[in-house]
Structure 1
Amino acid sequence: MQQNNSITEFILLGLTQDPRKKKMVFVIFLIFYVGTMIGNLLIIVTIKSSRTLGSPMYYFLFYLSLADSCFSTTTAPRLIVDSISAKKTISYNECMTQVFALHLFGCMEIFVLILMAIDRYVAICKPLHYPTIMRRQVCTNLIILAWIGSFIHSIAQIILALRMPFCGPNLIDHYCCDLQPLLDLACMDKYVINLLMVSNSGAICSSSFVILMISYIVILHSLRNHSAEGRKKALSTCTSHIIVVVLFFGPCIFIYTRPPTTFPMDKMVTIFYTIGTPFLNPLIYTLRNAEVKNAMKKLWHIKIASKSKR
């Protein structure tokens, strides 16, 4: 990657400079990250191994868990290592790579959530046409389009980052590289690039959130025509999706749809959607989904049975 400045590395200040709090950060986020990886990998393995979880909803949930795992890995390991490391430097190229990966997997999560909403809309509002509309090939093509869209978004973000000139200082008051904290260090007029950032990331977050909420309102409204049992099952699934949408999009909209101003709570808000949400998603989707829990139990029993035969 080409540098448009004299800075070769940045220093990430992290969440705190207090030695005691750094140890707390290490323990807390190590637990969060391990929990995130175990939870999401368990969902990935369960969906891949179970014959009962072959519907489009679980096909999309597989990719949501994959995006969550990669999204958390983009920021959490460095935060954990930096919390106990004396040297918290990150090279310019590593910083730009983190910006690219952060937006690639974050945008992928947004698109997968939209696909899950489409799947629920078709299943509930057009049940007779569901097998025809949501065929496996259609779902595969939608996932491919989601990856392409995420890649295009990330390319746009990395172009903005590479165009920022940095002439010092190189202290990033954050635990990761992103356009907002980098913009604070840029030696340039910030208005235009912030406008481009808001029109890209901000527009994607805001418009996607509005689309998702409208779609779920329509879905919930249509449930009045279903049986009591059908309403209960659909309501449980949709409630899980709505919780995930609110938890993810609320912080994203706060970060990416505002003027170039830094607030003290920015780091905590960023933690919530980069580390907190990927940790909570497996809990939300497993605790509120009987099919996933049953499939996990069956998979666990099969593993135990196969070991006992040996």
Structure 2
Amino acid sequence: MAEITAASVKELRERTGAGMMDCKKALNETGGDMEAAIDWLRTKGLAAAAKKAGRTAAEGLVGVHVEGTKGAAVEVNSETDFVAKNDQFQEFVRTVAGIALQTGGDVEALAKADWPAGGTVEEKLTSNIATIGENQSLRRAALVTVKDGVVVSYVHNAAAPGLGKIGVLVALESEGDKAALETLGKQLAMHIAAANPLALKGDDLDPAMVERERAIATEKAAESGKPADIVAKMVEGTIAKYRKENALLSQLFVMDNKTKVEDVVAAEAKKIGAPIALSAYVRFQLGEGIEKKEADFAAEVAAVAGKPEPVA
């Protein structure tokens, strides 16, 4: 059984919004397993659904770059936000995003790619670590392309052109007016940055995530005391809602919060007189999925232990 620390209770509280003592109980009930504790809280109705991708736990920058019918996104991590504001670091991320247009989503290939001034990307990164004095890492990359259409990029709260903490690429396949497609693509990218869809279509959602939601829904529905057939319908209704709310095409467009994204695309296709296919998207949020160690604070320790906080 993992040790239940004040830091783990604090992390669970931040990720779920549940009360401190509920978080402590959840961790005790699940042997200190953070993800299992989140599920335990949700089955008890004490926490909202938590997307792991929504929690930023590392510093650095996301970079996006588009040329013609190709767009690339990269994430480069650093130890502190101070380095992310460094001109040398920003130029590195910007250049790497451009190189990724040729290497695609293979980070190993990207690291071995030629650096414009000589050497490789990996060697340049090593040089930056030495001169900046802080550890940095090339974490991931992605590439989207279209045969005929546009690839549009968007950075939320950009730290510099093409650089920020959330970067989005949208691929629209269409023979229609490219200026109109660019406008639509930008709106869709802003939606993706805000709504954080987990897949393009409901059927594309990670089966493991769907089954996790099904298990939680089943336990909650069973506690209602209703007949088995009613419980089954309740579970299926919950899963259908989960698919709808987490798949991009079926999400409600953030611009009006009433029209499905797929209907927004269809309306624009009718307007420009040419079919439009939202074929792919990429959303990188800095640090998603990375766990960062938190320090134990005296107040948290005192609260979890049930002891009065020390007074200076």
- Give the TM-score range, shorter chain: under 0.3
* TM-score, scaled relative to structure 2: 0.27
Question: By percentage of residues, which structure has more strand?
Answer: 2
TM-score after normalising by structure 1 = 0.27
Structure (1 or 2) with the larger CA radius of gyration: 2
Structure having the larger proportion of residues in helix: 1
